[in-house]
Structure 1
Amino acid sequence: MNQAQQKHEMFIWTPLIGFDKERTDKGVADYYSTIGFKPDGISLFLFSPDIVHHHEDGMERERVLPPDNCNYYGNVRNEIRDIQEWTNFELRELVAGLESRGAETYMGLMGVYVDKDPRHPSHYNTGHREWLADHKELMGVWTIGTASLHVLKRFKDGTYYEDFFLAKVRRALHDYGFSGLHVADNFCPPGSGGSAKNGDYSDDMIDQFTAHTGIKLPAEISASVDDRDREGIQKRGAYIWNRYKREWLSFLTWRWAAFWEKVCRGLHEDGKKVIVNNAWCSEPFEAIYRYGIDYKKLYEAGVDYIAAESVATSVHMARELGPYRLYNYMTMPTLMKAYAPEGKLICLNGVKDSTEEWSTVGHFASNVEREIYSLTHYFIHTRDGLKRSMDGFLVCLGDGLTREEWAWLRERWDIGFAELPRTVLTPTFIWSDHAMHELLLDYIETKRWSMHKTIYEFAKAGGQIGAVARIEDLDIVSGPIFIPNIDLMSEAEIGRISAYDRGPVICTSPSDRPFRLPGSPEPDITFQDPIAGFKMRISGYRMGYLDYADITASLGEDDGSPDVEGDPRYAEDPGIWRLDLIYRKASSGFVQACGKLLRAAYVSGGELSADIEHPLLPMQMSDGTIRLLIGNDNRLQYRLPVVRTKHAVKQVASKSKFPALPVKLVDREGRTILPRSDRSHESIVNGGFIAKIPPGGMTIFDVALADEE
């Protein structure tokens, strides 16, 4: 039996419409009966920060809360009930009821400013004069417009918003009885237009920037610009982004850390906790480059949990903009954990949003099932053994789900969190903080691929990475390792990689910077992109068993995608989070060959394999069985991959809910072994089995092989 398990935490993020104020207990008992489990925490999504801004110390007077505190954007209903008019006293009773059942409750806020904007749908109803309408100096001033609260700014009198906010939120959390604070989009991270490239370039933020860095800007840039002067803001922004990008990003990461250090210190003094959503679905490098947010610095500042927005399906199904970022979002939390392993990391499980009107659990169930299985099956090597890269889920959102939908989710969570493997049979990605920070400088100059881009593109091509280890922990790793952008590591780190002798070593680097592992023989396999202008090279050491011709057969093929035009330093960076970061082109044939090389390094490759077009993540369990997670990138049709085995299959157990029927075995030639009434089929030596994978989904099999004869 597989016994090794790891404790995980489960949180729910839900608007007040998930409860019923007309019930004596505010609907708490019914809610718990519906969800069917005891969550560790519940974030009550009160949406508008005016719940803090308008809070009256001591809360002696009962008042009606505005609609946008009672439901996300004041939306009029969900699938279960109409919006209800809650009072502050009733909210306090709800918090007490949830806390009495052992759930830590969090005040969930965003920083959106609606201001009756006619572009918003009519059901976006704040129902009150927003506090920010009287403090517009605190609004984000971006090159593409002015919107949302920007919490790093100062009031007209020069005092910082964070000091005002901290004093108010301490009283609000205390008076309502919350266990902590949870902030998300448009608060931290800043507004969807609030990328580092877009600003904020107001006089206030530029004054903070120059005071911190000592940079002297030309008079025409430092001269006062009205927040409404879009042309002036754009001119200032273009100057800073193109000349002081590194300094601007360094300032922002410092400023966000200072904000959270102050807020967390105050809340921790009160025994409260803090949850912060990650920066618009971004992994560590992208979060710094695009938003000026450094996750490690947030943890060091005192943030208790970061919630990774790992919601590929809900983002893609919402609108026709950009590709389906499944591999991108599924690997993102692993890199976050590698960068800051001590911090607690929970992943958004995007299941339903009644206000935004999407339901993955209702309309794309197999996709969200794949997300659950994927996120629970990426691992990090630690001194205490193999651990999951995430510490639990935050259900997004938990107000409109039926009892049956909750039961369906619980079944999948139980499968995902069931047991830990003994070892992951893919190459292990070796993380280096030094390389990540060096990448920032190099990316500005070249737009080369990041480590994350390399990992998820190679995974899409069939070469998945199921585990990560920090370079400091290389001595506890065995088996194949993968180091994208190895040239960015320090000399000492490269030396440690060179001395690694417990498995194959695969690494990438730019072709125009000749690289060889010092003290090592020539690589057993090495090839570069024959088409791309900025050529990458991949090399494999201790891999003499490879079929070079098969792996490199796709070199020279290309999908015709464009490259960055002109000087990459001035390539137009995306302004909003739904657009992908700019990278230099890699030919599709080169990426396919790299995916094949990584797949060839799977430790299980000699025992068990499947065609490259079938995503395969293998790991060995404590009882010796091989667990296979097989995905299906076709969201319209089932897939029937043949899993070939060196030794006969003794038993195959489906650990997921599909398929329910026993698998079909195949003989050594790949032909299906059909059961016969005389049982003569039992004498046929099998050479594998046929799996069945639902459209867009994933199936998990535990495979036991016969002993070698």
Structure 2
Amino acid sequence: MSGSRPNCQRWMWIELIGFDNEEADYHVQAFLDNAGFVPDAISFLLSCPDILHLHEGMERQVVLTPDLCSRGGRAFNAERERQPWTNRQFRALVGELQQRGIKVYLSTMDSFHSDVDGRLHPSEWCAGHLELWAKRYAGEVVTCLSPLKRFTDGSYYEDFLVGKLREVMADYGFDGFHAADGVSSPRRPIWMADYTDDMVGQFVEMMDLEARFSAGGDDASRPRITCDDDAEQSARRARHIWANLRREWCSFYARRLEGFMTKVCDTVHAAGGQVVANNVWTQDPFQAFYRYGVDYRGLVRAGVDAFMLETVGAGNEIGAEGVPVELRAEMNQTVLFTKAFLPRTRLLCLNGTGDTTENWDVLNHAPPVCEREHYTLGSLFLQDREGFRNASDGPFVCLADGINCHQWRWMAHNWQVGYEKLPTRVLGATIIWSDAALDAEFDDYVAHRTPPPHRLCSELMRRGAPLLSILNADDLDAAQGCLFVPRPELLPEDELRLVLAYDGGPVVTIGRDEPGRLSCTVYDGGEQAQALSTSLPEQLPDEMSEPPNYLYGIYSQPVDEAFYAAATELLIELSGAPVVINDVTDARILAYETAPDRLRLLIGNEAHYYIIPQVDVHHEIVQVSTASHFPGKPIVSDGSTLTTRVPPRGMVVLDVQVME
């Protein structure tokens, strides 16, 4: 195995089909030899929660159901056919991995319908508890469970689930629990689900809203608390809650999820383990709360030790979800925003390789896209009084079976490059984060629909703005260079006054300075230096539909393309970032200093063909070396300019020595 180790953790998400129960060590050593390294942790994806529901100890050997032996009961992967695993074999496999220094986690979701060998394979346990199934706002069934619901006898499903988790942790010897989709957050946006009598009853009681609802009969101003048997009334009730009690509904879900996860974390911690949770369907802190009712602070208070950020931009780009969607900038900014919000919490970035059940494979079908994601995720930074540190702690490979040795070594090189260096200075604008601004964002968004800070940063980064670092306003005295403040009007007056008075470089803001106008303003030592503005629609649309899933953004007022382009150019100019000086519009550059005479450049390509940008780094170049796999020939430089070729949809990483 390779002796090199990047400055990051390396985790794997895998199914039982990734190992072999016919081998003495269950294929563990061969798996690690193929990978070329020992991961910090492996999380076993048993997406059906029946691994908990059906557990009855280890006294009797039990064959696990097909949908536990592989996700969805898929028949094969690139290495073997699905095998029938027993509970005791699984326990022995956990032990084999732990003997090699690997932490082993159990991961479950909320889904339970599988297609096994061409036949529907529903969970009998779940089929016997229809009251736990999630439902859409008019009562349409969603074939997944809600961990927040109650059994017909009024007892809470979460208490049963946590009791089973306690047994499974002890009997299998897991080192932790990984709360995945539908467990760490709702599967559906909460404008859509779940508005059943059970959840509405909990909502009314927890938020003390009895006066806002009717116990029965027809009341035009007050929906019924109980109306599951009436689809029309159920839909009316859901619309009323979202239109009139939206913040209360989001807060209710946040409180319930925090309570549920507190029970999970207390149970796992009591067993000496740790808890990892998926973030909410790729969402930044604001949208996590607004769209899914999740407060990341609440989950940390509950005891969550780490988050797996669903940075699935590479897969989205090639249509892994059935439609190609360009969300890389949004996910990069989510990493930054989440780290600023949770600076002391470990964040791991999902590195999508492929998923046979979901029928996509970015590692084999789009390697340059995958490579670019690896480099970029490792090159996003939080700055504070201690200096710069990576915004993420390393990759979480999804999924980790069916990968050959050459691909593992290729990825290991990418992680090494991505996480091996920290900046002494970023050649870009550092985003200013404010906890208080986040708290003000909900009401402002509902009233005005001005693009939220995350949307602004994503739109600018997509166009080439060098936004690779973030700093909390409380750490302003540690800032250096150009600062960017998205939506400054959301900051408290005292906090904003300090930020605008910053004298370490220009301060650029984009915000709504008056109704119907969005302005980009530059401040120099507290004085306004220049500004550009664009008009926003005076009236909001009568109908503003909420998106059905994470692939679609929440509605915000449209912003003129010319405004975004001008603001992007302004940020590049004022931050001293390297610039492309020839007519190559598809190049995107992130850069930072690693020493007074050393620069690292990440040059990405938005096009589906090679580009050859000429890049001016603003200093006389002494030498250029290549850190990425490509290009394989020396880089040509002349004065302060270098020329390189960048692969289609890919990225090259260059280390540049310059004259001091």
Structure 2 partner of 1:200: 194
Note closer, same or farther for the CA distance 1:79–1:25 as it changes in structure 2 (3 Å cut). same
**Structure 2: 5+ residue stretches without partners:** none
CA gap of 1:394–1:319, structure 2 versus 1, over 3 A, is closer
In the alignment, what sits opposite 2:40? Answer: 40
Amino acid at match of 2:463: A
Aligned partner of 1:694 in structure 2 is 647
**Displacement, 1:645?**
4.5
Change beyond 3 A, Cα 1:508–1:85: same
Partner of 2:369: 367
Residue 576 of structure 2: aligned partner = 603
Paired with 1:426 and 1:642, the residues of 2 have a C-alpha distance of 19
Query: What residue in structure 1 maps to residue 15 of structure 2?
Result: 15
Paired residue type of 1:310: T
Residue deviations 1:278-307 (CA, integer Å, cap 9, x gap): 111111111111000111211111001111
Q: Does residue 285 of structure 2 align to residue 284 of structure 1?
A: yes
Give, in whole Å, the separation in 2 of the partners of 1:299 and 1:647.
44
Structure 2 residue aligned with 1:675? none
Q: 1:592 aligns with which of 565, 572, 581?
A: 565
Q: Which residue of 1 aligns with 2:251?
A: 250
Give the match for residue 541 of structure 2.
566
Q: Which secondary structure state, in structure 1, belongs to the residue aligned with residue 190 of structure 2?
A: coil
Tell me, in whole angstroms, the C-alpha distance in 2 between the residues paired with 1:84 and 1:521: 67
* Structure 1 residue 136 corresponds to structure 2 residue 108: no
For residues 6 and 131 of structure 1, do their structure 2 counterparts lie closer, same or farther at Cα, with a shift above 3 Å needed?
A: same
Conserved 8 A contact 2:617-2:641: yes
Q: CA deviation at 1:217?
A: 2.7
Counterpart of 2:620? 648
Residue-by-residue CA offset, 1:116-136 (whole Å, 9 max, x unaligned): 7xxxx6657674643211111
Aligned with residue 346 of structure 2, among 315, 319, 344: 344
Give the stretch that moved more between structures: 224-233 or 377-386.
Answer: 224-233
Find the residue that maps to 1:523 and give its secondary structure: strand
CA distance in 2, matches of 1:687, 1:623: 15
Cα separation, 2, equivalents of 1:14 and 1:405: 16
Change (3 A) 1:405 1:100: same
Structure 2 SS opposite 1:207:
helix
Q: Residues of 2 paired with 1:639 and 1:229: CA distance? A: 59
2-side partners of 1:584 and 1:252: how far apart? 27
Residues in 2 aligned to 1:217 and 1:63: alpha-carbon distance in whole angstroms: 51
Equivalent residue number for residue 110 of structure 2: 111
Aligned-partner SS, 2:147: coil
Comparing 126-135 and 647-656, the one that deviates more: 126-135
Q: What is the Cα deviation at residue 91 of structure 1?
A: 0.4
1:146 aligns with 2:148: no
Give the deviation of 1:618 after TM superposition. Answer: 1.3
Tell me the alpha carbon deviations over residues 7-30 of structure 1, each in whole angstroms, 9 at most, x when there is no partner: 421110000000000001111111
Q: How does 1:461-610 map to 2 (within 5 A)?
A: 461-512=463-514, 522-530=527-535, 532-533=536-537, 566-567=541-542, 570-604=543-577
Partner of 1:260 in structure 2?
Answer: 261
| TM superposition shift of 1:108 | 1.1
What pairs with 1:390-405 in structure 2 (closer than 5 Å)?
390-405=392-407
Q: In the alignment, does 2:26 pair up with 1:26?
A: yes
Distance 1:13 1:124 in 2: 25
| Aligned residue number for residue 175 of structure 1 | 171
Q: Map of 1:448-459 to 2, 5 A cutoff? A: 448-459=450-461
Equivalents in 1 of 2:119, 2:351: separation in Å? 26
Aligned match of 2:594: 621
Specify the code of the residue in structure 1 equivalent to 2:177: L
Which shifted more, 615-624 or 235-244? 615-624
| 1:189 lines up with 2:185 in the alignment | yes
- Report the CA distance between 1:454 and its aligned residue: 0.6
Instruction: Say which SS state the counterpart of residue 637 (structure 2) adopts.
Output: strand
Contact 1:75-1:124 within 8 A present in 2 as well: no
In the alignment, structure 1 segments of 5+ residues that lack a partner are: 535-563, 667-685
| Structure 2: distance between partners of 1:125 and 1:336 | 41
Contact 1:461 1:613 in 2 (8 A): no
Distance (Å, rounded) in 2 between the aligned partners of 1:26 and 1:52? 23
User: Whole-Å Cα distance in 2 between the matches of residues 159 and 126 of structure 1?
Assistant: 30
Report the AA paired with residue 321 of structure 1. Answer: V
Q: Is the 8 A contact 2:635 2:644 kept in 1?
A: yes
When residues 512 and 33 of structure 1 are mapped into structure 2, their CA distance, relative to the original with a 3 A threshold, is same
Q: 1:415–1:655: 8 Å Cα contact kept in structure 2?
A: yes
TM-score, with structure 1 as normaliser: 0.87
Identity %: 33
Alignment of 1:160 onto 2:156: yes
Specify the alignment match of 1:100 in structure 2: 99
Change (3 A) 1:326 1:379: same
Q: Contact 2:592–2:601 at 8 Å: present in 1 too?
A: yes
Residue 495 to residue 64, structure 1, CA distance change in 2 (3 Å)? same
CA distance change for structure 1 residues 608 and 619 in 2, over 3 Å: closer, same or farther? farther
- Separation of aligned partners in 2, 1:390 and 1:289: 24
Shift of 1:524: 1.5
Q: Name the CA distance, whole Å, in 2 between partners of 1:211 and 1:690.
A: 65
Per mean C-alpha deviation after superposition, the further-off stretch among 227-236 and 488-497 is 227-236
Q: What amino acid sits opposite 1:39 in the alignment?
A: P
Q: Is this contact kept in 2: 1:616–1:631, CA < 8 A?
A: yes
Distance 1:440 1:123, change over 3 A: farther
- Confirm or deny that 1:218 pairs with 2:217: no
Q: Deviations over 1:287-342 (max 9, x none)?
A: 11100011121111100111100011213422453631111112211111111111
SS in 2 for 1:196: coil
> In the alignment, is the contact (CA less than 8 A) between 2:463 and 2:565 conserved in 1?
yes
2:628 paired with 1:632: no
Deviations 1:20-60 (A, max 9, x none): 00001111111111111111110011111101011113x20
In 1, the alpha carbon distance for the partners of 2:351 and 2:605 equals 19
Name the CA distance, whole Å, in 1 between partners of 2:145 and 2:617. 58
Q: Which amino acid aligns with 1:420?
A: L
Q: Is the 8 Å Cα contact of residues 66 and 126 (structure 1) preserved in structure 2?
A: no
What SS does the corresponding residue of 1:81 show, helix, strand or coil? Answer: coil
* Worse overlay, 618-627 or 64-73: 618-627
Q: Which amino acid aligns with 2:462?
A: K
Distance 1:633 1:607, change over 3 A: closer
Comparing 229-238 with 244-253, greater Cα deviation is found at 229-238
Inter-partner Cα distance in structure 2 for 1:607 and 1:493: 36
Alignment-derived partner of residue 416 in structure 2: 414
Q: Deviations over 1:643-692 (max 9, x none)?
A: 125443211111111101011234xxxxxxxxxxxxxxxxxxx4412121
The C-alpha deviation readout for 1:498-526, integer Å capped at 9, x for no partner, is 33111110011114259989997652210
User: Considering only aligned residues, what root-mean-square deviation do their CA atoms show, in Å?
Assistant: 2.3
Match of 1:669 in 2: none
Q: Distance in 1 between matches of 2:252 and 2:522?
A: 36
What is the aligned partner in structure 2 of residue 81 from structure 1? 80
Aligned-partner SS, 1:656: coil
- Which of 417, 434, 437 matches 1:435? 437
Q: SS at 2:150's partner residue?
A: coil
- 1:468, CA displacement in angstroms? 0.5
Determine helix, strand or coil for the equivalent of 2:587: coil
Tell me if structure 2 keeps the 8 A contact 1:66–1:127.
Answer: no
Amino acid at match of 2:534: D
Q: Is the CA contact (8 Å cut-off) linking 2:112 and 2:123 kept in structure 1?
A: no
Q: CA deviation at 1:172?
A: 0.6
> Deviation at 1:623?
5.6
